[in-house]
Chains A and B, each alone.
Chain A
Amino acid sequence: MRTPILIVLALALGWSEPGRTEELLVIANPSVTAASLSSDELAAIYLLKTTSWQDGGSIVPVNREAASSARTVFSDAVLRHPPNALNAYWNQMHFKGKVPPLVQESDQAVLAFVQKVPGAIGYISASVVPQSVKVLTRLP
């Protein structure tokens, strides 16, 4: 199983090579009071170490699908762990009762989700207009 995954990863890395330069906007539901988030804070949210905002509202992190370049960028820039390790980690967390970041498969979907769900946080391509959301930070 490992070999196809590596191949997929290699392919993904190969394809996303041009995308390394693309920028991601970390967006949040307007109800989120936090003005900005550091990379560490963001990593803590996505690694499920921080589960609520300072005002008490729960954090709903939204991830992109594993194959997407945005996720690769986000993982590299924020989480700093290889995707496999992250997957294993999230699975582990899932078993511990913590919900891993939801997956949306397009920027539009992430945007719509974050727009609708209070406490939601996600990332979209910087090329997308972050309408009706709160942009917390820009990556990288």
Chain B
Amino acid sequence: MNAWLAQSIGRKLLASFVGIFFVTYLLTAIFVFTSVHSSMLRSEGVALTHLSNQKIELISSYMESTAINLHAWSQLEVMNDLISGDVDKRVARTLANLKAQYALSGEIYAFDAQNRLMASSEAQAINAELPAIWASNGKEPVFIDKHANPLGKAPVVALSVGMNASFAPDFRIGTLVVVLPWSAVEKLLAGGKQRILLYRDESPVLLSAGTSEARIEAGEMQALIGRQPELALSSVRYVAGYSESYHPLLKDWHVVALQEASAAYQPIRKVAFQLIGLGLVLAIPIVWAIGWLSHKLTGPVEALTRVVSGITSSGDLSRRAEIEAQDELGTLALAFNGMAENLQRTSQDREKFVAELELLNKTLEQRVHERTQALAATNSELTSAIDNLKAAQSQLVHSEKMASLGQLVAGVAHELNNPIGFIYANFPHLEDYTNDLIGLIEELRRLPLDEAQKAALEQKIRAIDLEFIKEDTLKIIRSGKSGASRIKEIVSSLRSFSRLDEAELKSVILEDGINDTLAILHHHIKNRVEVSKDFQLNQPVLCRAGQINQVFMNIIYNAIQAIEGPGSVCIATWQEGEFAVISVEDSGKGIPPDVIGKIFDPFFTTKKIGEGTGLGLSISYGIVEKHGGRIDVTSEVGKGTKFTIRIRMTPEPEQVSS
């Protein structure tokens, strides 16, 4: 139940209102019922009292009127006849007439002053004395209570009055008695549904038990005398109403009207059922009205709750409660809507801020990342710059060394050029002269000389082995000539190789450069590497010959160095459109694929420290690029490497300018 209640304010309202209604109605009903109960009991009691009063009044008035009548009758003049012994029977006639006239159920007896019965309303005359119980001296009638009729059998009540002569108030003429049968009294009591009891409370006697003939117990009699509003007679419960008035004539006579409790409570039960019925009939519209009211009251609250829980569960702050009325709930809904709007705005602001923060965070990360990258890049740039600087430094050193070396070589070559020139130039003359000398000697020998001389000469000739000298001198001249020629060639190579002619664009035959290079590298080639040439270009190319020769030098030297032991280098030239193509293919160890991408990087070298600077190919690449060409390399490990150099036949203008 409590759980059922706890689920909804509407139920609580309904339960409390219904409870209030039921409690209120119950209390009201109890109050009404008790009021009605007591009022009905009271009214029942009042009605019964009224009835009993009525009955006692009836009896009393009957008795009173009878007494008055009796008194009046006693005053009749005719009663004076009692004095004369009613000789004319006037009294007897009168009494008979009175009985008939008043329709008396009893009899009237007139006794004379000597208490002899003088006359009666009875038909036949009776000779009797005045019974002591009827004796009355007063002029007012006296009531003689229920007693057995002295002149008859049935129980009677009697009224007795003393009679005086009309002419002389002091002259007693007798006693007039009216006797009423008890049945007449009971007849007066009878009537109605109620049971009427007549009792006397001094020396308590039940005079008439009403309709029932049941005996009355002493205790019950006590209850009667005690005037108990409710009592039980013969185990039947009664509601009692007691007569209240005092009647001087009847003295302690009392009438009680009894209503059976079950009959008395019948209308009360009916009222109870009506109250229950009314409660049920009222409950339906009231419960319905309470239900409607609670729905009306809690409807907006529930709607609000739905909106609130909807907002709570979904987080959708854009929901709004419907404002149905301008009452407190409407105000609440309005306030809630305002709050929700504020919340929404705040939430939106928050979300915006969060988003901004997140964005900021992300961008921060990104920026940190970028910065880090930038830093790393800068770092690597710096590192590479340092490396470059170092490289540049070493290159500078190298360049300077090379430049110095070049100048030295150029100087040496220049200085050697002239001596070598005239040495080389003199050899043909020397050969001519030697040949002339040898011819001369031969002629001398063939001259007719004495034998002695001839023999001495011959001797001499034999001593110096002229033949050998003749042969050997020619050989020496030839070899000298060859040597000079080679020196001349080397010097020429050195000149052309050195940068003496660097800055100038020259039309050169590339094959000459290759040959020069091969000549310079002759020491490395001879007896080990077989160099095959396939020169098909044989056209002058406009280029910076010194730089191109340096390229040839680097690549061919690398090719030779790549060959361990005997091998071959194949150099070919040809033309491809406006490009002159030189390919250098060796049968060396090849370049591993992971290294092949780096070979043009500056300072990348596979040689031992001191053997190479790692600049050769890098510089070569730069030179070839300057000439509007490129260097391609294909290599297979273990089989060899092929460098293909392409340069323009004539450089492009901008390249020329640079």
Contacts and interface: CB of A to CB of B under 8 A. Distances in A.
Contact of A112 (B87, B90, B165): B87
Contact of B167 (A99, A105, A106, A112): A99
B166 interface: yes
Nearest to B81: A109
B550 to A, nearest CB: 195
Nearest to B112: A116
A117 B88 CA distance: 17
A104 interface: yes
Interface in A102-121: 102-106, 108-110, 112-113, 115-119
A102 B84 contact: no
Contacts of A60: 165, 167-168
B84 A58 contact: no
A104 B167 contact: no
Contacts of A118: 171
B271 interface: no
A109 B84 contact: yes
A58 B168 contact: yes
Contacts of A99: 166-167
B80 A102 contact: yes
Contacts of B84: 104, 108-110, 112-113, 115-116
A116 to B, nearest CB: 5
Given A109-B87, A109-B88, A104 B81 contact: yes
Interface residues of B, number: 14
B597 to A, nearest CB: 177
A105 B171 CA distance: 21
B85 A112 contact: yes
Contacts, number: 45
A118 to B, nearest CB: 8
A106 B166 contact: no
B381 to A, nearest CB: 168
Interface string B478-521: 00000000000000000000000000000000000000000000
Given A102-B167, A117-B165, A108 B87 contact: yes
A102 B88 CA distance: 14
Interface in B583-628: none
A99 B85 CA distance: 21
Nearest to B90: A105
B560 to A, nearest CB: 200
Given A58-B167, A60-B168, A102 B85 contact: no
A116 B90 CA distance: 17
Contacts of A117: 83, 165, 167-168, 171
Interface in B165-216: 165-168, 171
Q: Classify the interface of chain B: helix, strand, loop or mixed.
A: loop
B77 A103 contact: yes
A77 B83 CA distance: 28
Contact of B88 (A58, A104, A115, A116): A104
A108 to B, nearest CB: 5
Contacts of B87: 106, 108-109, 112
Contact of B77 (A102, A109, A115, A116): A102
Contacts of B80: 102, 113
Contacts of A104: 81, 84, 88
Interface string B60-87: 0000000000000000010011011101
A46 B85 CA distance: 24
Specify which of A108, A117, A118 lies most central, judged by the most chain B CB atoms within 10 Å of its CB: A117
A105 B90 CA distance: 9
A52 to B, nearest CB: 11
A105 B86 CA distance: 11
A27 to B, nearest CB: 13
B166 A102 contact: yes
A105 B88 contact: yes
A123 to B, nearest CB: 15
A105 B168 CA distance: 20
Contact of A106 (B83, B88, B165, B171): B88
A135 B168 CA distance: 22
A100 to B, nearest CB: 9
A88 B222 CA distance: 63
B75 to A, nearest CB: 12
A116 B83 contact: yes
Specify which of B84, B85, B87, B166 lies most central, judged by the most chain A CB atoms within 10 Å of its CB: B84
Nearest to A117: B83
Interface string A26-51: 00000000000000000000000000
Interface in B370-415: none
Contacts of B168: 58, 60, 117, 119
Nearest to B82: A116
B1 to A, nearest CB: 95
B631 to A, nearest CB: 187
B83 A113 contact: yes
Contacts of B171: 117-118
A113 B86 CA distance: 10
Interface in B126-149: none
Nearest to B171: A117
Interface in B425-449: none
Specify which of B80, B90, B166 lies most central, judged by the most chain A CB atoms within 10 Å of its CB: B80
A103 B165 CA distance: 13
26 contacts: A58-B167, A60-B167, A102-B80, A102-B166, A102-B167, A103-B77, A104-B88, A105-B88, A105-B90, A106-B87, A108-B87, A109-B87, A109-B88, A110-B84, A112-B83, A112-B84, A112-B85, A112-B87, A113-B81, A115-B84, A116-B83, A117-B83, A117-B165, A117-B171, A118-B171, A119-B168
Interface of A: 58, 60, 99, 102-106, 108-110, 112-113, 115-119
Interface of B: 77, 80-81, 83-85, 87-88, 90, 165-168, 171
Given A58-B168, A112-B84, A117-B167, 11 more contacts: A60-B167, A99-B167, A102-B80, A102-B166, A104-B81, A104-B84, A112-B85, A113-B81, A115-B84, A117-B171, A119-B168
